[in-house]
């Protein structure tokens, strides 16, 4: 004989979409660069610039701050590290654009609405950090 008692089951809570708070691209000091290629004969000047501190290596990554169920989360792209600090604005913007595109893909996967974001990175979002 089957149990005829009614069971009360809690209904699943309707989740809101994660809310996008901020997007930026960071250019950060590379904490573990590999300058070994500078030991080649053709890089004598670059090697000396590195030793003097006139050349450094940086990483470039895009990040977004989102709110998920009331909790602030930071989502980051994979980043590109080992970029020469004097690579030039055009190259930095190119890599920043690639990282931004990766971040948008990640945000879409997480269900974050990205329709209000521009297709290309806004140059004003690129921040150089020294920390």
| Residue pLDDT, tens place only, 90-114 | 999 999 999 999 999 999 999 999 9
Q: To which H or E segment does residue 104 belong?
A: helix 89-109
The CA distance from 66 to 107, in Å, is 9
Q: Please give the residue that has the higher pLDDT: either 6 or 47.
A: 47
Mean pLDDT to the nearest integer, 3-28: 83
Cα angle 59, 100, 76; round to 5: 60
**Residue-range domain boundaries for the chain:** 19-128
pLDDT tens-place string over residues 18-71:
999 999 999 999 999 999 999 999 999 999 999 999 999 999 999 999 999 999
């Amino acid at each position: 004989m089957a149990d005829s008692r009614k069971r009360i089951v809690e209904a699943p809570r309707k989740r809101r979409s994660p809310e996008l708070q901020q997007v930026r691209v960071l250019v950060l000091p590379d904490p573990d660069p590999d300058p070994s290629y500078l030991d080649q004969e053709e890089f004598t000047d670059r090697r000396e610039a590195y030793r003097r501190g006139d050349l450094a290596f940086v990483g470039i990554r895009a990040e977004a701050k989102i709110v998920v169920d009331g909790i602030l989360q930071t989502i980051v792209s994979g980043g590109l590290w080992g970029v020469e600090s004097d690579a030039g604005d055009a190259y930095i913007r190119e890599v920043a654009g690639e990282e931004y595109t990766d971040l948008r893909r990640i945000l879409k996967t997480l269900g974050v609405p990205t329709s209000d974001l521009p297709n290309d990175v806004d140059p004003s979002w690129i921040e150089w950090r020294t920390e």
